[in-house]
C-alpha cells in the first residue's frame, strides 16, 4: 500500500516535470470525453424524458390507412371500437399541421374538446370560444406574442382567421408543446374545412393495460383498414430513435477517439532525452523493469482518471446547465422551431460505465507498448545517449 503510494507520488512528480506535454494531452483527452459524454447524456436524458412523459399517452391510437397512407378516419369507427369489451372510451381527435409562410415554420394544430382539469403547465386559460387558442412557448416567442394578443392564421379557404391567445404553455413543458396550437375542436374543423363525419385518428382508453394487445388485434379484425398503435410501441419508438441516434453520433465520434489514441501513442513513444536519462538512473540505482512499468501505469491511470472526471463533469454541465449548445445545431436540422432543452438531469450509471470503457480502455491499450519500450531501456545505454 505504502509502496503504491510512493509510486504514485513519483509518477505525479514525473508528470508535473513534463507539465506542458501532459496538460495538453489531458485537455485533449478531457475534451474528447466531454464530447462523447455530451452525446450520451443528452440522448439518455431525452429518452428518459420521453419514457416518463409519454407513459401517460393514450393506451392506443387508431389510424386509418388508405392506399398505404395515413387517412382521415370515419367517426363511426370510434363507436365500433367503443363497443369492444375492455375499451373504456374511444375519442375521435382532430389535429394536423400548418405551415406558416411568414415565419417559415411548421405548427401542430390540435383540437381540444372539453377541458376537464386545470392544466398546471398552462399560463392563462384553455381556449373556450371559437376564436381563441392556446399556444406553446415556441410559437409565442417566434411571434413575440403574449396572452391577449392575436394570432392570424390562413385557413383552408385561404381566408385570414384571427385567434386570440388565451393561454401559453410554460417553457418547462416546451419539449412537448413547443410548436403546439390548441383550439376548440369545432373551430379547428372549420379551419381545416373537415367533414364532420371524419377525424384524424381515434384515441382509445383501455382499462386494463394487459388487454391492449388483444384489443389491437380485435380492432384490426373488425376494421381491417386501420393501424392501431399501442402506448408501448410509442415508447419503443423513442427508445429506438435515441439508441440509434446516440449510436450514430458515437460512431462518428469514434474517429475523434482514434485520432486521440494516435496522439497519445505518439506522445508516449516520443520520450525526451531527459526522460530517458531519468529511467537509466532509476535502473542503475536498482529499480527493475516492473517498477518502471508500474510508474508508467500510474501515469496513464492518473491522466485518464483526471481526464475522465473533468470530461464527464464538463459534459454534464454542458448538457444540463447550458442546454447542450454545441449539439443543438446537429440535432436541429431544418427545424425552425426547436425547443430549448430544459432536461431533467437523469443519468444512468450505465452511461458512465459505457463512457469510461469506451475512452479509458483504448488509451491504456495504446500506451502499453510505448511504456514497455521505455521501461526496458538498458541503464548504461540510456545514460550514455
Partner 1 sequence: MILHPGILALLGGSLLSVLLLIKASGLGLTILLRWDGTSSSEQQLALEHKTWLISSLLNAGLGFQIVSGVLFLATVEAIHPLFVGAMCATGTLNANLVGWLVLLVKGLLFFAAALWVIFNRLDQRSEDAPLLRPKYLALLLITPLAFLDLTLQYSFFSGLHPDIITSCCGSLFSEQGQSVLSELAALPPVTAMALFFPVIAIYYVLTLCCLRSQNALLRYLLFITVIVAFFIALAAIISFISLYLYQMPSHHCPFDLLQAHYNYIGYPLYAGLFGGTLFGLLPGLAAPLQHHPSLSAHIDQLDRHWLWISLIGMTVFLAIALWPMLFAPFTLLRSG
Partner 2 sequence: MWRARLYLTATLCGILTLTALLMTGQQPNDSADKQQLVAAFGLTDLALFSEARYTRHPSQADLFTAFQDSPGAIDHFPSGSLVVPIPGSRTRSITVLKGER
Per partner kind, with CB cut-offs from 5 to 8 A, the member of partner 2, partner 1, none near residue 182 is partner 2
Q: Which is nearer to partner 1, 105 or 364 (CB)?
A: 364
CA distance 324 to 341: 7
251 binds, among partner 1, partner 2, none (CB under 5 to 8 A by kind): partner 1
383 binds, among partner 1, partner 2, none (CB under 5 to 8 A by kind): none
- 361 binds, options partner 1, partner 2, none, Cβ within 5 to 8 A by partner type: partner 1
Applying CB under 8 A, among 336, 361, 376, 378 the residue interacting with partner 2 is 336
Contact 146, 165 (CB under 8 A): yes
User: Which CB, 9 or 274, lies closer to partner 2?
Assistant: 9
C-alpha cell of residue 139: 410559437
How many residues of this chain bind partner 1 (CB under 8 A)? 47
C-beta of residue 180 within 8 angstroms of C-beta of residue 51 = no
262 part of the interface to partner 1, by CB under 8 A: no
With CB under 5 to 8 Å by kind, the binding choice for 228 among partner 2, partner 1, none is: partner 1
CA-based nearest residue to 225, from 61, 67, 62, 65: 65
Q: What are phi and psi of 163, to 5 degrees?
A: -120, 130
Q: Which of 136, 167, 362, 370 binds partner 2 (CB under 8 A)?
A: 136
119-158 binders of partner 1 (CB under 8 A): none
Give the count of beta carbons closer than 10 Å to the beta carbon of residue 125.
Answer: 14
Site residues for partner 2, 81-120, by CB under 8 A, read 91, 93, 97, 105-108, 110, 112, 115-117, 119-120
Task: Give the residue from 79, 94, 59 showing the smallest Cα distance to 222.
Answer: 79
Half-sphere exposure in the Cβ direction for 10 (13 Å, CA): 18
91 binds, among partner 2, partner 1, none (CB under 5 to 8 A by kind): partner 2
With respect to partner 1, which residue has the nearer C-beta, 23 or 305?
Answer: 305
- 49: partner contacted, choices partner 2, partner 1, none (Cβ within 5-8 A by kind): partner 2
| Nearest distance, CB of residue 245 and partner 2, angstroms | 5
Residues 206-225 that bind partner 2 (CB under 8 A): none
Which position among 25, 33, 39, 46 is part of the footprint of partner 2 (CB under 8 A)?
46
- Residue 170 in the binding site for partner 1 (CB under 8 A): no
Using an 8 Å Cβ cutoff, are 359 and 256 in contact?
no
| Binding at 221: pick from partner 2, partner 1, none (beta carbon under 5-8 Å per type) | none
Task: For residues 193 and 155, give the distance between their C-alpha atoms in angstroms, rounded to a whole number.
Answer: 8
- Which of 8, 105, 164, 234 forms a contact with partner 1 (CB under 8 A)? 234
Residue 241 found at the interface with partner 2 (CB under 8 A): yes
Residues 13-32 that bind partner 2 (CB under 8 A): 13, 16
Piece of 16-24, 104-112, 175-183, 235-243 that binds partner 1 (CB under 8 A):
235-243
Q: Residue 300 and residue 285: Cα distance in Å, rounded?
A: 24
Among 164, 198, 234, 364, binds partner 2 (CB under 8 A): 234
Using the contact rule CB under 8 A, the part of the chain among 17-25, 79-87, 261-269, 301-309 near partner 2 is 301-309
Q: Contact positions toward partner 1, by CB under 8 A?
A: 40, 65, 213, 216-217, 220, 227-229, 232-237, 239-240, 243-244, 246-248, 250-251, 254, 289-290, 293, 297, 348-351, 353-354, 357-358, 361-362, 364-365, 368-369, 371-372, 375-376
Amino acid at each position: 500500500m505504502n509502496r503504491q503510494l510512493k509510486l504514485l507520488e513519483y509518477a505525479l512528480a514525473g508528470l508535473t516535470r513534463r507539465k506542458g506535454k501532459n496538460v495538453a494531452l489531458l485537455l485533449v483527452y478531457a475534451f474528447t470525453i466531454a464530447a462523447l459524454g455530451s452525446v450520451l447524456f443528452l440522448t439518455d436524458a431525452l429518452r428518459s424524458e420521453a419514457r416518463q412523459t409519454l407513459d401517460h399517452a393514450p393506451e392506443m391510437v387508431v389510424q386509418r390507412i388508405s392506399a398505404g397512407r395515413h387517412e382521415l378516419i370515419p367517426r363511426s369507427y370510434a363507436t365500433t371500437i367503443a363497443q369492444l369489451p375492455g375499451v373504456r372510451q374511444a375519442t375521435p381527435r382532430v389535429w394536423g399541421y400548418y405551415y406558416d409562410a411568414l415565419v417559415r415554420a411548421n405548427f401542430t394544430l390540435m383540437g381540444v374538446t372539453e377541458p376537464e382539469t386545470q392544466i398546471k403547465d398552462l399560463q392563462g386559460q384553455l381556449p373556450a370560444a371559437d376564436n381563441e387558442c392556446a399556444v406553446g412557448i415556441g410559437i409565442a416567442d417566434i411571434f413575440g406574442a403574449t396572452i391577449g394578443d392575436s394570432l392570424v392564421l390562413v385557413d383552408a379557404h385561404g381566408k385570414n382567421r384571427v385567434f386570440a391567445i388565451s393561454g401559453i404553455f410554460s417553457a418547462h413543458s416546451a419539449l412537448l408543446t413547443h410548436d403546439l396550437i390548441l383550439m376548440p375542436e369545432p373551430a379547428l374543423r372549420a379551419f381545416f374545412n373537415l367533414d364532420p363525419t371524419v377525424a384524424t385518428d381515434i384515441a382509445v382508453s383501455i382499462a386494463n393495460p394487459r388487454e391492449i394487445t388483444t384489443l389491437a388485434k380485435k380492432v384490426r379484425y373488425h376494421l381491417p383498414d386501420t393501424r392501431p398503435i399501442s402506448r408501448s410501441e410509442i415508447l419503443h419508438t423513442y427508445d429506438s430513435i435515441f439508441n440509434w441516434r446516440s449510436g450514430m453520433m458515437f460512431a462518428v465520434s469514434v474517429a475523434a477517439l482514434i485520432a486521440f489514441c494516435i496522439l497519445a501513442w505518439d506522445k508516449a513513444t516520443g520520450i525526451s532525452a531527459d526522460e530517458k536519462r531519468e529511467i537509466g538512473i532509476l535502473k542503475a540505482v536498482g529499480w527493475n523493469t516492473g517498477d518502471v512499468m508500474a510508474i508508467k501505469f500510474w501515469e496513464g491511470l492518473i491522466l485518464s482518471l483526471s481526464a475522465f472526471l473533468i470530461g464527464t463533469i464538463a459534459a454534464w454541465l454542458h448538457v444540463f446547465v447550458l442546454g447542450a449548445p454545441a449539439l443543438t445545431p446537429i440535432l436541429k436540422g431544418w427545424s425552425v422551431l426547436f425547443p430549448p432543452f430544459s432536461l431533467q438531469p437523469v443519468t444512468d450509471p450505465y452511461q458512465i460505465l459505457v463512457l469510461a470503457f469506451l475512452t479509458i480502455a483504448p488509451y491504456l491499450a495504446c500506451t502499453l507498448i510505448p511504456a514497455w519500450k521505455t521501461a526496458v531501456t538498458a541503464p548504461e545505454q540510456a545514460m550514455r545517449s
